[in-house]
Amino acid sequence: MKNVIRLAALYVSACLWATTAMADAETDCQKGTGDIQVRGCTQIITSGHVFGEPISVGNLAAVYVNRGIAYKNQRQFDKAIVDYTRALALDPKFARAYFNRGNAYNAQGRHDKAIADFTSAVEANPKFTEAYDNRGGVYENKAQYDKAIADFTRALELNPKYARAYFNRGNAYGGKGQYDAAIADYTSALKRDPKYAKAHFNRGFAYANKGRPDEAIADYSRALELNPKYAEAYYNRGISHDARGRHDRAIADYTSALGLNPKFAKAHLNQGADYYRKGQYDKAIADYTHALDLNAKLTKAYLNRGAAYRNKGRWDLAIADYTSALELDENSIEAYDNRGGLYYRKRQYDQAIADYTRVLTLNPKSANAYYNRGIAYRNKGQYGAAIADYSRTLKLNPKDAKAYLNRGFAYINKGLSDNAIADYTSLLKLDPKSANAYNNRGVAHEQKGQLGKAIADYRKALKLSPNHQGSRGGLKRLGAKE
């Protein structure tokens, strides 16, 4: 949650032009807007007079500040800064000039200069509440949350009714992950301003991060009552509906967000995810494609669209998406893992092995990647490499039944019957109803010439799975009855 710095309203020196009969230039400089205000202030600066009298140094400084504010409102920040600087040359203790120049620097992203100016403002006027608030906002944007909190707290000491300072301090607490404190501050802001839509929105965000989606939904809904065009509130409420498993409601909220902001890429991303959950892959693909049209650097959109293509059997398109994801994030384990799975399905075992190897480089404790690479090695007839990978799988996960099953198969193909028998026996301790384990152990016994044990295992397999062709064939081969 980023704090938005509050720019000052038009400043007019208290001692500026006491006379009641005001010429157009004076009126325009004080009360005009845009080019009219600039023109009025410039006329006074150029003439050096006001109401026919030479302008005082203090009032001239105020005119520069007013013109600076006019430039700021036109987003001509460099010109605004020049005018604020001229005002300060005339009056080095002009707190409002420091304040407004700080705002201009902040708008340009020159945060350190902004902090310096807000600091000068509070040194010139230690009770300058807004300067503390704005400096706190810059600290928050720099993720210096403790300094931000200190400034917001000082602003509240000066003005306990300052709803915005509560709001901003809540943002800083949220940045620190202290969501209870953030919620308390947003609640204080709302007590002082019940129609503060952003406070409802941010409190909803804090509730969501606390794992309290119902309270979050309530706050987002209140924010939308106050501001029906609040696209982000629809989007966040959709996320909270998803957290509650209410995917149709979430889709409705993402659709509303997109109606207000058709360029909301993340809303397309989340809506696509909900369509994916519902098995509506074409709609999911359409949303992910829209998201990528808006932001071609959304790695997650490539990953998700790849998954949707995969589930539709469009493997080449899925592989292309996973590859695009890896171009954006070369360390994406999900992309390597999923692409490896598709290469395996396409019987491109070398590419699959390469992808699983990359997964293991990034995460050496991925039992699943060792297992999958082992399967690929097995299908290439590289049983020694397969056995090594299944062994690593079992070291990480000693209860992986499939790893015992497949390592046993590899041992049989290597002629290591005793090792195979040991693996199938271990598997049967984990899963006593595994017909395949009995069948394969029977094969290993047969390989050793232990025909009685082989027949017993084939019969147990058939008892568990009456249509098990391997065991039926084994008994026939050994001339034994079922």
What is the mean predicted confidence (pLDDT) over 185-193?
A: 98
Give the pLDDT mean for 445-471: 96
Residue 17, domain member (yes or no): yes
Burial of residue 224 (CB within 10 Å: 0-12, 13-18, 19+) is: buried
Domain span at 98:
1-122
Q: What angle, 0 to 180 degrees and rounded to 10, lies between the N-to-C axes of helices 163-175 and 179-192?
A: 170
Residue 361 counted as domain residue: no
What is the structure's pLDDT at 1? 34
Whole-structure pTM value:
0.85
Neighbours of 408 (CB within 10 A): 29
In a domain, 403, yes or no: no
Provide CB contacts within 8 A for 259, sequence distance 6+: none
- 71 belongs to a structural domain: yes
In angstroms, the CA 65 to CA 335 distance is 55
CB 394 within 8 A of CB 404: yes
Query: What does the buried/exposed string (b/e) look like for 19-54 if buried means 16 or more CB atoms within 10 Å of the residue's CB?
Result: eeeebebbebbbebeeeebbbbbbbbbeeeebeeee
What is the distance in angstroms between the CA of the first residue and the CA of the last residue of the chain?
70
Do the domain assignments include residue 115? yes
Q: Kindly indicate the confidence band of residue 334, based on its pLDDT and cuts at 50, 70 and 90.
A: very high
Q: Which tokens hold the place of 385?
A: 């490499």
Structure tokens at 461: 């397999």
pLDDT (tens digit per residue) in 103-133 = 999 999 999 999 999 999 999 999 999 999 9
Q: Please choose, from the candidates 280, 290, 284, the residue with its C-alpha nearest in 3D space to the C-alpha of residue 258.
A: 290
Q: Residue 2: inside a domain, yes or no? A: yes
Q: How many domains does the chain have?
A: 1
CA-CA distance, 165 to 18, in Å (whole number)? 34
User: How large is the average pLDDT for residues 387-413?
Assistant: 97
Residue 302 sits at the vertex; the CA angle it makes with 245 and 353, to the nearest 5 degrees, is 105
CA distance 389 to 44: 83
In a domain, 25, yes or no: yes
Contact 309, 325 (CB under 8 A): no
Inter-helix orientation angle 281-294/265-277, to 10°: 160
What distance in Å separates the CA atoms of residue 298 and residue 139, rounded to the nearest whole number?
29
Domain CATH code at residue 102: 1.25.40.10
DSSP secondary structure, 198-259, as one string = HHHHHHHHHHHHTT-HHHHHHHHHHHHHH-TT-HHHHHHHHHHHHHTT-HHHHHHHHHHHHH
> How would residue 23 be classed by pLDDT, with cut points 50, 70 and 90?
low
Q: Is 9 within a domain?
A: yes
pLDDT, tens only, 229-268: 999 999 999 999 999 999 999 999 999 999 999 999 999 9
